[in-house]
Amino acid sequence: MSIIVYILFSPSLIVFIAAETSSITLSQSLSYGKTLVSPSGIFELGFCNLGNPNKIYLGIWYKNIPLQNIVWVANGGNPIKDSFSILKLDSSGNLVLTHNNTVVWSTSSPEKAQNPVAELLDSGNLVIRDENEAKEDTYLWQSFDYPSNTMLSGMKVGWDIKRNLSTCLIAWKSDNDPTQGDLSWGITLHPYPDIYMMKGTKKYHRFGPWNGLRFSGMPLMKPNNPIYHYEFVSNQEVVYYRWSVKQTSSISKVVLNQTTLERQRYVWSGKSWILYEVMPEDNCDHYGVCGANTYCTTSALPICQCLKGFKPKTPEKWNSMDWSEGCIRKHPLSCQDKLNDGFVLVDGLKVPDTKDTFVNETIDLKQCRTKCLNNCSCMAYTNSNISGAGSGCVMWFGDLYDIKLYPVPENGQSLYIRLPASEIESIRHKKSKIIFITSVAATLGVVLAIYFVYKRNIADKPKKNENIERQLEDLDVPLFHLLTITTATNNFSLNNKIGQGGFGPVYKGKLVDGREIAVKRLSSSSGQGITEFTTEVKLIAKLQHRNLVRLLGCCFRGQEKLLVYEYMVNGSLDTFIFDKVKSKLLDWPQRFHIIFGIARGLLYLHQDSQLRIIHRDLKASNVLLDAKLNPKISDFGMARAFGGDQIEGNTNRVVGTYGYMAPEYAVDGLFSIKSDVFSFGILLLEIICGNKNRALCHRNQTLNLVGYAWTLWKEKNALQLIDSSIKDLCAIPEALRCIHVSLLCLQQYPEDRPTMTSVIQMLGSEMELVEPKEPGFFPRRISDEEKFSSNLNHKTSNDELTITSLTGR
């Protein structure tokens, strides 16, 4: 049988492909132009280059994925200059890569095989085994023990203690240079093992220890995740972590990226790699950013705070936001009399660095407390395993480093921090004082309310302005001088106007330091302007996420109410997807990237921010795009925040935009995280279709986009929804999955709609989806005559109708 050799060209890769075989034996070799292919055709091993034909590597890649698909390289630091190279097994059973009879790379198996065979498995693992060995999973050597920059499903990261072998990821210097960079990621063998991302010898990011359910610093790592199964094993012989996909059809990988200094999890959508998860995710994920005996939280300004009972070591530096020296105790511990010490409980934490710890899995929390109290060096303790009722004991000694406080307590875990009795009593006194003040406030509440209603009608505006300014200062929000803003925007020139929001125009500006800004100028004619202004400042000032627009500051002077944001060079999403020319700039992979980013931002608002935030006006014009077309949710003037477990509310004042509002909200004033999910479903359809929900999208003018989509879905003809400008190059299965998910989000009843956690899981996997029920939509479009005869305050921008006052039933 003849062997046909051909060349597969890719923008960054040239691979030589030959007849398919998955293994080589002592009598065989692999030369340039030939490959091994795993039994099911998933992975391929051979010689490749990364854009430079003078640098050739032995590597493994996904056989049928053309983009960013190399997952392992053998000779990353020692490339071959030409095609005169051979891979073969030597007599000892080791793989040897030679070039002109010079060894370039080889394996080092401690055991000699009688009948060795090298095989590429469907997992992407290159293994050497003895064919005489009865157990097929007994390997003399495997590439999974020596990973490159990529972690695959089933691969272990950790330690084989018996062999003193550490398995960790090491980043490439760049995408086209597999030379090892200085960024690594793996397990450190502390008494309480921890996972670190290291930059050289310095700690850069920490996962936190395994607590029986997840890593302490990975709140989204849920045990019931429908896509991934997580496993952590720690005993006398091995300590390792691995994950696997639950559905064999799913393709996922984790990549350590030297360029961005990130650990990135990707999911293959069928057309492109989708960024599913990134660590570090925010500033608080950078190791030790706040110094010793502190905690970091993105829901506060500044992000660094001293632990209870501690104060800044150097107040001058601390106040200038240099937190490197951390905090020290306000009062020393009473080690001579241990009974005078106690513990304060702090919930919702990523527990401290585990370098100086002691672990005892056999004792309970009460015994752990006693043991810690009897050791003068013990600074904190908690359960080592928080699953079930909690078990085991872990104690910390010395200063406490790299603690993160999560806005939602259940995302973290509890920590008991040692304090002297005087400090414990002080904390108790403060709590009692708060309870007393709360009681007094409740008693006087009605009187004060009546007084302020009266006072509001007679008080002069300067005092009102001073009150608002004082509130803003209390939030630690930078306050811009009005002259600074007018100068930056050329006195609010029409040439600088870049948009029109629900409560006024938006201007582009440039500060004297060169920073470009976007200034939202709340209209003085808006009856609700001050309310929306203070709401937006209070909410967004505490929000930090890559998919939320960042507030730089504000200005309140006289009639002027100004919000200053980071400038988004590509404007709002609606200017792209609803424009026949610009829509062609957003191909399907880019649209899917935008969809996923919006979903992540909304998930943060609903679940991971300090308060549960319901946006209430999610729409295409409120999604901004940065220079790389990354989406950022904006405009929080209509948002509502809840504490605790509250996820819904009702109102007599319905705000939002017709065409995006959930039925229960538009009709009855009932809003919840599920009403945001409904709006996301509308937005998802609009991104796919390129048409507005309230615009004509079919000859039958009695249907809006939702009704049209539902009709096509029932007719099994949903492909007609895809924007014609992207349809030819679209990943059809992925687009259909998005349409399916959108219809699940648009179901009539809130309880039927998924949460944003489920939405992200459904978008990022090939899990089976339930059939959607009929969506909530009005089958008859509101005519222009009806629209303008409505007795509502409204604005028209891009044919949208934003409701600012409507009585709910």
* Placement of tokens 């790299």 in the chain: 402
Dig out the tokens for 131 from the structure.
Answer: 């064919």
Q: How many whole angstroms separate alpha carbon 280 and alpha carbon 262?
A: 6
Q: How many whole angstroms separate alpha carbon 261 and alpha carbon 256?
A: 8
Dig out the tokens for 561 from the structure.
Answer: 């109410």
Residue type, 431: K
Q: Are 270 and 733 in contact (CB under 8 A)?
A: yes
Question: Which residues lie below 8 Å from residue 181, measured CB to CB, with a gap of 6+?
Answer: 170, 171, 172, 173, 258
Q: Are 55 and 79 in contact (CB under 8 A)?
A: yes
282 is catalytic: no
Please tell me which residue in 285, 353, 617, 676 is annotated as part of the active site: 617
In DSSP terms, 294 is beta-bridged to 306
| H or E stretch covering 17 | strand 13-17
Q: Are 477 and 301 in contact (CB under 8 A)?
A: yes
In DSSP terms, 416 is beta-bridged to 345, 381
User: What's the number of CA atoms in the CB half-sphere (13 Å) around residue 482?
Assistant: 7
Dig out the tokens for 701 from the structure.
Answer: 């003018």
Cβ-count burial 144-176 (b if 16+ within 10 Å, e if not): bbbbbbbbbbbbbbbbeeeeeebbbbbbbbebe
What is the total residue count of the chain? 809
- DSSP state at residue 494: G
Q: What angle do CA 465, 467, 470 make, to 5 degrees?
A: 110
Dig out the tokens for 280 from the structure.
Answer: 């570090």
Dig out the tokens for 664 from the structure.
Answer: 């229960």
SS3 171: strand
| Active centre residues (catalytic) | 617
